[in-house]
Amino acid sequence: MSAKKKNEHSEPAPEKKEEPQAAPETEPNAASEQPEQEAAKNEAPDASQKPQEDSERYLRLMAEFDNYKKRSAKERENIYTDVRVDTVTKFLPVFDNLERAMKTETADEAFKKGVEMTFNQLMDVFKKLGVEEIESVGKPFDPKLHNAVMHVEDAERGENEIVEEFQKGFKIGDKVIRFSMVKVAN
C-alpha cells in the first residue's frame, strides 16, 4: 500500500504542450489590399454620418417627447372634463326639482325667495364649472343637442323648429351632458 500512496502523491506527469502552428504565409496581392481600401473608404462616410444620425435621433426624440407632453395634457383635460360632467350629472335632478318649485304658485313669499336664491346659487356653480344651457325654443332642431319626443303640425312655425322644451339640456364645451327634451313642429 505504501507504493500506491507514493504513486498517488507523486507529481503528475507533465502535459504535452501543443506548439502553435505557424500561419501560412501568403503573398500580398491586389485582392487582399482591396478590402482594406474599401473599409477605409467606408469608415470615412460613417465618421461624417455619425453626427448627422445623432442629430436626427435627437430631433426624433424631442418630437416624441413633445407629442408625449401634448398627449398627457389632453388626457388630463379630458379627465377633468369627465369629472365635471359626472359631478354636474348628479346635480341635474336637484336643478329639475328647484325649477319645478319655482314654477309652483305659493302664498309664502319668503319660501319662494329662498327657492329662487338656491336655484341662482346652483346656476352660479354651474357657470363656474363651465356648464351652459342648450338653447331650444324657437331654434332649429339639432339631433346633436336635442331629443325630440313629440311632433306637431303647425303652419305658423318653420320646418323642424322647436316649439316647446320639456326638459333643459346642458353641455360643457362641445360635450353634451344632457340633451334637451323638446317638441318639434312640422
The DSSP secondary-structure symbol of 140 reads: B
Classify residue 141 as exposed, middle or buried by CB count within 10 Å of its CB (0-12, 13-18, 19+). buried
- C-alpha torsion angle, residues 162, 165, 168, 173 (rounded to 10): 0
Look at residue 186 in the predicted model and tell me its pLDDT: 83
Interacting residues of 90 by C-beta distance below 8 A, sequence separation 6+: none
Domains in the chain, ordered, with CATH? 45-129 (3.90.20.20), 132-186 (2.30.22.10)
Query: Is this model's pTM higher than 0.75 or not?
Result: no
Please enumerate, as own/partner, the contacts of 159-165 that have beta carbons within 8 Å and a separation of 24 or more.
159/186, 160/184, 160/185, 160/186, 161/185, 161/186, 162/136, 162/137, 162/138, 163/137, 164/137, 165/136, 165/137
Per-residue pLDDT of the chain (186 residues; tens, 9 = 90+): 544 455 555 555 555 555 555 555 555 554 555 555 555 455 555 667 888 889 999 999 999 999 999 999 999 999 998 999 999 999 999 999 999 999 999 899 999 999 999 999 999 999 999 999 999 999 999 999 999 999 999 888 888 999 999 999 999 988 999 999 999 998
Return the number of other C-beta atoms located less than 10 Å from residue 47's C-beta: 9
Look at residue 169 in the predicted model and tell me its pLDDT: 96
CA distance linking residue 157 with residue 167, whole number of Å: 21
Beta strands in 50-160 (DSSP E): 131-133, 146-152
- C-alpha torsion angle, residues 42, 47, 48, 51 (rounded to 10): 140
Look at residue 67 in the predicted model and tell me its pLDDT: 96
CA atoms within a 13 Å half-sphere pointing along the CA-CB vector of 173: 8
